Amino acid sequence: MINEQQVREIIGALKDPFLHKTLAETEGIVEVSIKEEKEHVSVKIAVAKTGTPEQLTLQMEIVDVLKGAGAKSVGIRFSELDPSKLEQFRGVATPAEAQDMLSPLNNTKFISIASGKGGVGKSTVSVNLAVALARLGKKVGLIDADIYGFSVPDMMGVQTMPKVVDDRIYPVERFGVKMISMGFFVENNAPVVWRGPMLGKVLDQFFRDVEWGELDYLLLDLPPGTGDIALDIHQMLPESNEIVVTTPHPTAAFVAARAGAMAIKTNHHIIGVIENMSWFQSDVSGQKEFVFGKGGGNKLAEELRADLLGQIPLGQPEIIEADFAPSVYARNHSTGQLFIDIAEKVIDQLDKKDQ
């Protein structure tokens, strides 16, 4: 297992993406800690500007080099360089680099949606939360990053492909949401087997080469579970606000807690839990029937010390032939309204976090 000095040497050779000086030169390695028994390295890095696509690239480079040197898992936190230090290096930025610092995603809040296992409704929640945020007047993007199980284009009833002009990818817009999916980049629904660097390149492309314009929120529908792919993606993403989706069964909540733990370990911030398939409203008895049990969402929220943002019942959206989108609830559908309530809570929480 590598020691702290080796970690500092390896990362010290990488460059601050804006200052184009090595992290050793900028003294950008703030903290290194190593858990020998778990072969886990966590580092805190200060860069000129945080929350940028450039940070994502650096993040991937750090994960790559540390894993290459023997770390099994890597945690990275970013902070901004002290203004006095920044001053020291100012003047080295060319106009193109200065333009980079004004990248349109700089003020975007990232929201990732995760689940402990497949089939609990993570994609349904991602799509409807994105649409609800757009219905509230926000500028919203959605990345379907569920590389094996991409389903967002079908769920939203997307019939077109993104346009590519001069090497720039223009996302498809549906219900006011700009969307891009792994599904657009594989032929004939073929299974995808990307991992490691290849996966990183594809994700990087989603941030850098897609013409998002200015966005308030960029949602990411993550792969389900706590396996290698989910871990890779967690490590490669910019720091995000994460929502964990579960069903009400206590066992499902238990599995979802592991996804939450993975998010925290990879320095994402859990903002809440959404319980899906919470009940079924019987037409016959008029009663709520708790088909999948009760209490899972609350239990998970307690465990992750986060809010239960909402509970979504079982039930399909009405199908409108003329505007087919099989998983999008209409604004005036009771579930559509529940998603508006959740979106308001999310906006509120993230605004508070900013203050």
DSSP letter string over 77-127?
EEEEPPHHHHHHHTT---HHHHHHHT-GGGGPEEEEEEESSTTSSHHHHHH
> Which residue's Cβ has the minimum distance to ligand ATP?
118
**Side-chain half-sphere exposure of 149, counting CA atoms within 13 A:** 16
Beta strand residue intervals within the chain, DSSP E: 29-35, 40-47, 73-80, 109-115, 140-144, 163-165, 168-170, 172-174, 177-181, 217-221, 241-246, 269-276, 280-281, 288-289, 307-312
Shortest spacing between CB 55 and ligand ATP, in angstroms:
27
Instruction: Say whether residue 312 binds ligand ATP (CB under 6 A).
Output: yes
Applying CB under 6 A, the span of 9-17, 24-32, 182-190, 309-317 interacting with ligand ATP comes to 309-317
Instruction: Say whether residue 183 binds ligand ATP (CB under 6 A).
Output: no
Instruction: Say whether residue 118 binds ligand ATP (CB under 6 A).
Output: yes
Instruction: Say whether residue 133 binds ligand ATP (CB under 6 A).
Output: no
Output the known binding site.
116-123
Output the known binding site for ATP.
116-123
Instruction: Say whether residue 146 binds ligand ATP (CB under 6 A).
Output: yes
DSSP letter string over 314-347?
S-PPPP-GGG--TTPPPTTSHHHHHHHHHHHHHH
- Binders of ligand ATP among residues 234 to 253 (CB under 6 A) are none
Instruction: Say whether residue 34 binds ligand ATP (CB under 6 A).
Output: no
Shortest spacing between CB 210 and ligand ATP, in angstroms:
22
Instruction: Say whether residue 276 binds ligand ATP (CB under 6 A).
Output: yes
Identify which of residues 105 and 145 has a Cβ nearer to ligand ATP in the complex: 145
Instruction: Say whether residue 151 binds ligand ATP (CB under 6 A).
Output: yes
Give the total of residues touching ligand ATP (CB under 6 A).
Answer: 19
Instruction: Say whether residue 157 binds ligand ATP (CB under 6 A).
Output: no
Instruction: Say whether residue 12 binds ligand ATP (CB under 6 A).
Output: no
Identify which of residues 124 and 267 has a Cβ nearer to ligand ATP in the complex: 124
Instruction: Say whether residue 255 binds ligand ATP (CB under 6 A).
Output: no
Applying CB under 6 A, the span of 2-10, 55-63, 265-273, 313-321 interacting with ligand ATP comes to 313-321
Contact pick of 70, 119, 213, 227 for ligand ATP (by CB under 6 A): 119
x/- mask, ligand ATP, residues 208-237, rule CB under 6 A, reads: ----------------x-------------
Residue 34: helix, strand or coil by DSSP? strand
Residue for token pair 């402990």: 116
Q: Which two tokens stand for residue 165?
A: 């002009």
Contact present, 296 and 263 (Cβ < 8 Å): no
Instruction: Say whether residue 277 binds ligand ATP (CB under 6 A).
Output: yes
From the CA atom positions of the chain, what is the Rg in Å? 21
- Looking at this protein, which amino acid is placed at residue 250? P
Instruction: Say whether residue 327 binds ligand ATP (CB under 6 A).
Output: yes
Give the residue from 112, 110, 92 showing the smallest Cα distance to 100. Answer: 92
Contact present, 293 and 253 (Cβ < 8 Å): no
Contact partners, residue 174, CB within 8 Å, separation at least 6: 156, 157, 158, 325
Alpha carbon distance, N-terminus to C-terminus of the chain: 40
Contact pick of 123, 235, 241, 247 for ligand ATP (by CB under 6 A): 123
